[in-house]
Amino acid sequence: MAQPAVSVAKKKQAPSLLEFLYKHGTLLAILVIIAYFGITQDRFFTYENFSDILRSISIVTLVAIGITFSLIVDGFDLSVGSTVSLATIASAAALVLYRQEILVTLLVPLLLGVAVGLLNSLLIVKLKLPDLLATLATMYAINGVQLTYTKGFSIYNDMPLPNGGTAPGKFIPSFLFIGQGEVFGIPFSVLLMLIVVIASHLFLTYTKPGRLFYMTGENREAARLSGIPVNRYRTYAYVISGFFAALGGIVLASRIGTGQVSAGASFLMDGVAAAYIGFSVFGAGKPNVIGTLFGSILMGVLLNGLTMMNVPYYAQDIIKGAILVGALALSHIQKK
């Protein structure tokens, strides 16, 4: 009779271990990765390296928060990477080609991001196209727009123009401060990221509209029958996603000081991985901003360490894909 008791104990132990890993696995992974790279890489625990990690995390987090909003309403936005690139090109063009000041330089890419979100919502909410196909089409269209506008060239200070002259403007210090400046030793982009994370978390957790976002995604038909304007909240989600992707593009342009073509392409995979990793943080089991932040930290620390180890960028993509598959698999297993 002792054998059944042992088997029952094992069955109870297995789910508890899986539950522990599901809740705290991301945090443990971050600590293990930091410890490993700290031991193997002499320059890992330096202020310059951590500052670089935080700056890169800030852009990924902004993009991933936008993806998180689309996931909350049971949608998905594949166009964030191309929106980042569009915002980077738009802000660089406003400064270098049209000699605009900081206000216009910030407004133009943000409005373009909102426009992309509205286009996605038109295709998905009004025309009822599948979100993956609609945002995939938008992604390719935006890439075509920015490549057509720039003719495939980056935008930078003193760049030559087709008419034989040079660009009249340049990246101004107030714009570069967004991605390169510091406040009391903390990168400004990190402070901006923390403000967005805290505001988004408070909005989604403690306000009625934030809870309506979750209700829309959990059961759209039940939410509609309850009187919730589900299409409106789905539209809001895609607009917010486009806005935050554009904000990430602004930070990227101010950090590198150029408008590089397709510079935001890599942020699609990073943002999606961070958002899905966030499902499991503290056992939330749903899209959430705090989890997304920890997912961005995990991706940022890992990629920084791999770069210090001279791992090729194409090999890093393999690791990103493996992490995303693992996050999706763990989330699926926990739901079952």
Cα-Cα-Cα-Cα torsion 9, 12, 15, 17, nearest 10 degrees, comes to: -60
Q: What is the reported pTM?
A: 0.91
Kindly report the CATH number that applies to the domain delimited by 45-335: 1.10.3470
pLDDT of residue 99: 94
pLDDT of residue 334: 65
- Longest CA–CA separation in the chain, Å: 91
pLDDT of residue 18: 67
Q: Which of 60, 43, 22 is nearest to 297 (CA)?
A: 60
CA end-to-end distance (rounded Å), the chain: 31
CB 271 within 8 A of CB 12: no
pLDDT of residue 225: 93
- Residue 170 DSSP symbol: -
How many other C-beta atoms lie within 10 A of the C-beta of residue 252? 29
pLDDT of residue 285: 76
Residues with pLDDT less than 50, the chain: 1-2, 8-14
